[in-house]
Amino acid sequence: MPAVVVIGGQWGDEGKGRVVDFHSRYCSVVARYSAGHNAGHTIVNERGKFALHLVPAGIFYGNKTCIIGHGLVIDPKSLLAEVAMLSERGIDTSRLLVSERAHLVMPWHRIIDLADERLRGAAAIGTTGTGTGPAFHDKVGRIGIRMADLIDRARFRERLREVLEYKNRVLTGLYGEAPLDPDAIEREYAEFGERLRPYVADTIAVVQAAHARGEMILLEGAQGSLLDIDSGTYPYVTSSVPASVAAGGGIGIGIGPTAIARVIGVYKAFQTRVGHGPMPTELHDSDGETLREGGGGAPDTREYGTTTGRPRRTGWFDGVLARYTARLNGVTSVALTRLDTLSGFERVKVCVAYELDDQRVTTLPATLEAALRVKPIYEELPGWQHDITHVRALGDLPTEARQYVRRIEQIVEAPIDMISVGPERTQAIVTRDVFGAALT
Ligand code: IMP
């Protein structure tokens, strides 16, 4: 049976967590394949509201093998805090597995993340400050420390000293920061290693065995395609290797691309972004403020970051970028989230092209200078005034809302199978079972 990838089609925060949560019921393995605790997924279920950063959203079912794959960088402290939070709230974490090949976020990564942002000055990326980017730099720079090192005290001591000798030179010489004490780090991390050991496994073998047995595997993307290092709005992107796009799924977990049968693209019904960088449809007016404060939608759905609490930048749905990411990921079906937020607008807008130097263009230019200059060309559609948070069938949506959904479907060239109209598990319109007979 196939693997299914869930990806974000925008700049992250599309609501992937609730989509993964919804589809997890059909799968025996739910796995994260990229990024680190810079990611934030909000899940609302019968046990309350949860913010997850590293643990896959399948954890709430209790009977799923939840894997943190080797494509991630892991801050042990952050992971342990998340596991403790889940346990305290009665969630069983005994089926959580962490790849022995995953890299660690170490104390110097956070220091370097913040120092790099200061040095970039006006060109700061607006990172989450979690050390994720520098941890990926070190992975690619082949000076990373991995989970397998952490759980072996002697190996960790040796690797830490080797790496820290180099890193302390960088910290003091390049950044003017104080050197870090290897003994203090070793003590702290030895304890992390002890506590994480029961979770650490050869997750490639686990995933491959599940695949060979014909079990369904759900790969949970983090962030959004527009933050991808290769295809995103560089340099205002995240550093994850493998990529934040669907093709990274197999790489970050250890299965081939032929195992991936479906790609579910999650798109918010409008656009948001945290951090800096181009955002052609960004609104600086009262409409933008209305979107940020949840519009006419469900209460408690304001647009503030799950990881950093930062207010998100908001704007109208960018169809140019949506089509780009749908094609980039090979999206086979779409989950459209937060449609409820758009209730109450007299007119809703969808960007269908850009104007650049008096020309109409339908792609975002690669250079930052040009990407910052494009002006959105909008198509206006009639809005709807009804509260739609109670709607559970497509036919019960106001005609205007259905029209909006159809237009987005045309733009992304894939069927919209799920529409969320509120944060609760039940607040969704499901028009087609993505995991239905045709798939299995
Ligand atoms: P970093 O991943 O912390 O290096 O941040 C790089 C960029 O990615 C910044 O613009 C962040 O705001 C953004 N970013 C990182 N993780 C997320 C996420 O989970 N949701 C939305 N944006 C994110």
CATH of the domain at 362: 3.90.170.10
Residue 96 maps to a domain: no
Ligand 1: centre distance to CA 16 (Å):
15
Active site residues: 13, 41
Ligand 1: centre distance to CA 222 (Å):
10
> What is the pTM assigned to this prediction?
0.95
Cβ of 343 closer than 6 Å to ligand 1, yes or no, is: no
Q: Are 258 and 383 part of one and the same domain? A: yes
Q: How many independent structural domains does the chain possess?
A: 2
Ligand 1: centre distance to CA 312 (Å):
11
pLDDT single digits (tens) 140-172: 999 999 999 999 999 999 999 999 999 999 999
Q: What is the pLDDT of residue 436?
A: 55
Cβ of 127 closer than 6 Å to ligand 1, yes or no, is: yes
CATH number at residue 153: 1.10.300.10
Cβ of 36 closer than 6 Å to ligand 1, yes or no, is: no
C-alpha span between 170 and 16 (Å, rounded): 37
**Closest ligand 1 atom, residue 275 Cα:** 10
What's the gap between Cα 392 and its chain centre? 26
Residue 18 maps to a domain: yes
Give buried/exposed letters for 243-258 (b at 16+ CB in 10 A, else e). Answer: bbbbbbbbbbbbbeee
Q: What is the pLDDT of residue 41?
A: 86
Cβ of 227 closer than 6 Å to ligand 1, yes or no, is: yes
Residue 429 maps to a domain: yes
**Closest ligand 1 atom, residue 128 Cα:** 3
Cβ of 281 closer than 6 Å to ligand 1, yes or no, is: no
- One-letter identity of residue 29: V
Q: Are 275 and 424 part of one and the same domain? A: yes
Q: Are 275 and 155 part of one and the same domain? A: no
Residue 362 maps to a domain: yes
Best of 16, 113, 128, 226 to mutate for ligand 1, by most ligand atoms within 8 A of CB? 128
Q: What is the pLDDT of residue 307?
A: 76
Q: Are 289 and 434 part of one and the same domain? A: yes
Q: Are 288 and 307 part of one and the same domain? A: yes
Q: Which of 177, 199, 221 is the last residue of a domain?
A: 199
Cβ of 38 closer than 6 Å to ligand 1, yes or no, is: yes
Q: What is the pLDDT of residue 437?
A: 41
Best of 274, 303, 304, 310 to mutate for ligand 1, by most ligand atoms within 8 A of CB? 274
Q: Which of 136, 170, 199 is the last residue of a domain?
A: 199
Q: Are 219 and 332 part of one and the same domain? A: yes
Would you give the DSSP letter of residue 29? Answer: E
Residue 21 maps to a domain: yes
Residue 24 maps to a domain: yes
Q: Are 190 and 207 part of one and the same domain? A: no
Ligand 1: centre distance to CA 13 (Å):
10
Q: Are 344 and 326 part of one and the same domain? A: yes
Q: Are 249 and 166 part of one and the same domain? A: no
Residue 97 maps to a domain: no
Q: Which of 199, 221, 253 is the last residue of a domain?
A: 199
| CB < 8 Å & 24+ apart, contacts of 351-354 | 351/280, 351/281, 351/316, 351/317, 351/318, 351/319, 351/320, 351/376, 351/377, 351/378, 351/379, 352/319, 352/320, 352/377, 352/378, 352/379, 352/411, 353/320, 353/377, 354/280, 354/320
Q: Are 405 and 288 part of one and the same domain? A: yes
In this prediction, the residues of the chain whose per-residue pLDDT falls under 70 are 1, 435-440
Q: Are 160 and 27 part of one and the same domain? A: no
Q: Structural domain of residue 120, as residue ranges?
A: 103-199
Q: Are 66 and 159 part of one and the same domain? A: no
Cβ of 17 closer than 6 Å to ligand 1, yes or no, is: no
pLDDT single digits (tens) 246-305: 999 999 999 999 999 999 999 999 999 999 999 999 999 999 999 999 999 988 789 998
